[in-house]
Structure formats: structure tokens, C-alpha cells
Amino acid sequence: MVNTQVNLCGIPLDNPVIPASGTFGYGYEFATWYDINLLGTFSFKGTTQEPRFGNPTPRIAECKAGMINAVGLQNPGVQNVIEEELPKLKPHFSKPVMANVSGFSIEEYIHCCQLLDQEEQIGWLEVNISCPNVHGGGMSFGTSPRAAFDVTKAVKTVTKKPVFIKLTPNVTDIVSIAKACEDGGADGISLINTLLGMRIDLKTKKPVIANKMGGFSGSAIFPVALRMVYQVYEAVSIPIIGIGGVSTAEDVIEMMLAGATAVQVGAANLINPYACKEIIETLPQTMDQYRIQSLQEIIGGAHT
Amino acid sequence: MHEDVMKQSMFTLETNEKIAKNTYRMALTGDNGDCTAPGQFVNIRLNGFYLRRPISVCERTENGIVLIYKTVGSGTEYMATLERGTELDLLTGLGNGYTTQQSGESPLLIGGGVGVPPLYDLTKLLVSEGKSVTAILGFCTGEEVFYADAFSALGANVIITTEDGSRGIRGYVTHALPLAYSYVYTCGPEPMLKAVYAATTTSGQFSFEERMACGFGACMGCSCKTKYGNKRICKDGPVLEKEEILW
């Protein structure tokens, strides 16, 4: 009997598989496909202080082995998430959920984290300082070690829940940003968010996406994400959630060997609604195949 | 009302034939139990393509579904090469579809290009309810016309329009509006929907197209604003009530 349990900042997960923010709504939408209590946990849709419609459409473009999205943090706002979305989730999910938060100012991050800190259903906060699809916020905090430090420190003062900072790969030195978050008191690092990309339609000769550029995700980005998890694992001592192009149990194991304590699955949920369920169900046999007894024990196993 | 049931299942390709210029008809056998309303769509996984392809259901048959699609890019061009016996992974029961309670006795159906197919099953349903259906089917050219006889065979009064006048009435679908009708059902490209919105006088249901990733409400890729708040074309649509459209 293999052991798929991992410990994420003191909270045990039955398995390390976590649907990534923005690909799983507020969870209950997927309850029509399968029992979502199978999941380790999931990270809910990026939530901001005010409701947001997001960017104009088209917001989606297909790529080889991936896709680009420029949704732009569409969400009903933190108040509505607390009053409407979390109660709707409750009958479907009995585990602690990961709350993904985004903002345009430190005050906004503080406001959202303060409110979400009061919610019993929430186990962890995942602070997104890496959205490539909004201007004047999001990613701008994640591209400077100083700003990343400041946001981390600020949200840590308003919550007792473990705080993961979600980082963008669109930087010259991911390690310095991750270290700044650790210095600011982060309990963990989520990486990576999407890579900034674009497509041009040969018929119209114009960008496919209304916002011109968007976040590239899907299988194609797995090696980039894996490399960054590997690099950051060497530099920090807090847990890492590995994200980027994961779509199989093998990918989960590979990401954990690079240094991830848990793994998020994003775009794969959008093409196969059962992606996470299938990964979780095949994990034990895949572990057997590679003679792995316990997932917790392989974290960072690729490092010497 | 349509129930919120969606399913992933395998379908088998029975026929896949060209029925007009760049237009193909695909008959599939499989579990169609979740296709509960005309105007819903399926999302098809294709080998070698990352995203599924959303295609509206033309007809729910005894043992499967019929899809009509136009080759507009590499995905649909690949679909056109698929042969009998191919197994396809489909998400079914997607979208809200049309409802017929408000149709009145003489509904007007207006389809443009590959907006025509979902009106086929709607016609069938309306006719079975004893309603007198007029269907305006608009195309760019006569070579692209399909299903005119099929709509007639269901008992609809069919009017064909082509932009170049090579078949039927010359011009757009709005050039062929009858004097009286009780309700409007339409599906087609957005400029056509806008023209129909402006030219028709009754209430109606408008089916929209948008680029989407998941097709089942998760990614927020296909959101639009309506009078009743933000909606996802894939999940809260593709059919919107005329009254809620912000034009």
C-alpha cells in the first residue's frame, strides 16, 4: 500500500493534487463531473476586492500543446465570494480550500486576506502577484523582489493562515523573488503562473486575443515550471507548490522530485474535466511502477 | 427547462460527408441522453489539438447525434478527414439551448451559415408542438446552401437568402422577414444577430458564438455582459433572451 499523503504547512493532504486557480471556478462547478472531495484541495478563482468583468473577448487562443488565456481576473469580488460562493461550495467539499487572492495595491491584498482569514472553509491563502493579464497590478508585484517582499509582509500581518505567494515566470531571476517572499514571511511559494505569450490570426493578420497578449499554459510549459521549482527549492526552505503543464501522475512525481510538496493542475482541467480525478486514481500504480512508497519522502529527491 | 447535466463519453463516427461548400455533416452514434434541448452543443477532443472544438448539435437521432460544421481552420479541416469507425471523445449536454414555451403559434427561425444546424432540431420540436414554423436560412452563396429540403420536410416554410443572389432571395436574412410572426429564434455570426435584433419586432432567443476553452463554465474564457449580469456563453448561454442583450 503506497502513501500519497503530503503535509502542506501543517495541514495534511490526502494527495498532492490541487486544481489550479482559474481552471476550477469556486469548485462546485466541478461537482457535476465527480466527487471533488477526492482532491488534495483546490485553489479557487482569483479573487479581488471589487467585482471584475475582466478583459474583452476573445480571451482564448489555442497553441501547440497549450493555450493562451487573457481572462483578466473575472470574479464576483471578495464579499460575494464569502457570502455566495463559499456557501455554495460547502455541501460539495469538506476539506480546507485554498483561497487565491489578487490585487492592484497592497491595501487591496490586505483587505481581501483579512476578510478571507475569518473563513473556516479556507485552509491556505495563495496570494497571486503574477497575473499577466491585468495592467497596473498583479504581475508588477511579482517582478520586483522589493515589492514581493512588501506584499508578503503586509498580508502576513493580517492572517494566521499559511500564505503561499504565487509567482510569475516572466522575470530574469525567479530565485531572488522567491527568496524575498521567504524573507517577508511567506509560508510557501506557488510557481509558476502563466508565461506571457501571443498568437496572430493569419486570416485577419491581427492578434487572436482582444488583449493582444495573454498567459500561456498547458503541457508545453512543464519543463519551464519544473526548472523553476528545481532552482527555487535549492534557495528556500519553505514548501513549494509546483504548477505548470501538469497533466499526468508521472508529471506530479517529476514535479515533486524537483522540490514540490504539492502540485497544481491547471489547463488540463479545461480539456478533460476528469483530469485531476484521473491523475489521483493513477498515482498509486505509478508510484508502484517507480517503487515509491511515500510521496512525502520524494520531495526534492532529484537534488544531490 | 434544460437540466444541468453534462457528460463525457465516446462516440463512433458513422458518416462524415460534404454537404455544401466547406460544409460537412457528421453522424455519430453514442449516448445522447444528456443532449436535452435544441441549441446545445458538444465539445470534441481531436488528436493533435490542445483544445476541444465546440460544435452545435443539429439533430438528436435515435442512437446518437448529427453535427454540421464548416472547415474554418486546422481543427475543423482535420475533422473533415475523419473516417467511419473513428472513436471521438465528446463532452455532451453543454449550454442551455432553446426553450419553446414562449414561441407562440408562428415562430420565425433565422439561421446564418453554420448557425442553421441548431435550428433543425428546434424546428422539429416546434412542429411537434403544432406550431407553424417559418425558417429563413441565409448563406453567402448558393454553393453553401444546405438543409433547405430537410427543413421543408419537417413542415417548415423555408426561405433561402444568399448574399450574391445565386439562390433564393438576394441579400441578407433581414431582407426576407415576413410580415407577421410570434417570436424569433436565431443563430449565426454576430453581425447577423445584430441585424436581426434591430429588424425584428417580437421577443426572441439569440444563440451566440465565442472562442472558448472548456465549454462547461470553468475558465471564464467566453464571458459577456448582459442586462442580468455577466454570463458565460458556454454555460449560461449560448442562447440569450433578446431582452437581456446589451445592444
Mean pLDDT value of segment A77-88? 98
Q: What is the per-residue DSSP string for A100-161?
A: EE--SSHHHHHHHHHHHHT-TTEEEEEEE---TTSTTSTHHHHS-HHHHHHHHHHHHTT--S
Mean pLDDT value of segment A17-25? 97
Is pLDDT at A173 greater than 60 in this prediction?
yes
Question: Among A142-146, A163-167, A189-193, A258-262, which is the least confidently predicted range?
Answer: A142-146
- What's the grid cell of residue B103? 414561441
- What CA–CA distance (Å, rounded) separates A197 from A64? 12
Number of cross-chain residue pairs from A and B with Cβ atoms under 8 Å apart: 92
Average pLDDT, chain A: 96
Contact A23 B219 (CB under 8 A): yes
- What CA–CA distance (Å, rounded) separates B212 from A57? 10
% of chain B residues with pLDDT over 90: 97
- What CA–CA distance (Å, rounded) separates B53 from B147? 22
Contact A53 B230 (CB under 8 A): yes
pLDDT of residue B197: 97
pLDDT of residue A52: 95
- Out of 3.20.20.70, 3.40.1350.10, 3.40.50.1000, 3.90.650.10, the CATH code matching A6-54+74-198+217-298 is 3.20.20.70
Contact A61 B211 (CB under 8 A): yes
- What's the grid cell of residue B104? 407562440
Contact A57 B213 (CB under 8 A): no
Is pLDDT at A111 greater than 50 in this prediction?
yes
pLDDT of residue B2: 44
| Residue to test with chain A: of B6, B10, B50, most A Cβ within 10 A | B50
- The 10s digit of each residue's pLDDT in A253-280 is 999 999 999 999 999 999 999 999 999 9
Angle between helices A174-183 and A222-235 (to 10 degrees): 50
pLDDT of residue B56: 97
Is pLDDT at B133 greater than 50 in this prediction?
yes
DSSP state of A58: P
pLDDT of residue A137: 56
Q: Establish if B90 touches chain A: CB-CB under 8 angstroms.
A: no
Distance set, CA A236 to CA A30, A154, A170, A231, B228 (Å): 34, 20, 19, 9, 48
- What's the grid cell of residue B189? 455570426
Banded model confidence at residue B4, pLDDT cuts 50, 70, 90: low
Banded model confidence at residue A304, pLDDT cuts 50, 70, 90: confident
Report the residue of chain A nearest B54, measured CA to CA: A271
How many Å lie between the alpha carbon of B18 and the closest alpha carbon of chain A? 23
Sheet holding B134-139, edge to edge: B169-170, B157-162, B134-139, B107-112, B183-187, B204-207, B239-241
Contact A59 B222 (CB under 8 A): yes
* Catalytic residue set of A: 131
Give the list of residues 6+ apart from residue B62 with CB closer than 8 angstroms, or none: none
- The 10s digit of each residue's pLDDT in B140-195 is 999 999 999 999 999 999 999 999 999 999 999 999 999 999 999 999 999 999 99
Mean pLDDT value of segment B223-247? 96
Q: Where are the domains of chain A?
A: 6-54+74-198+217-298
- The 10s digit of each residue's pLDDT in B30-46 is 999 999 999 999 999 99
Nearest alpha-carbon partner for B90 in B24, B175, B6: B6
Q: Is A146 exposed, middle or buried (0-12, 13-18, 19+ CB in 10 A)?
A: exposed
Mean pLDDT value of segment B224-236? 95
- What is the set of domains in chain B, with CATH numbers? 7-94 (2.40.30.10), 107-244 (3.40.50.80)
Q: Establish if A200 touches chain B: CB-CB under 8 angstroms.
A: no
In chain A, the DSSP E strands lie at 6-8, 11-13, 17-19, 60-63, 66-69, 97-101, 122-128, 163-167, 188-191, 195-197, 200-201, 206-207, 214-217, 240-243, 262-265
- The 10s digit of each residue's pLDDT in A115-146 is 999 999 999 999 999 877 666 556 678 999 99
pLDDT of residue B1: 40
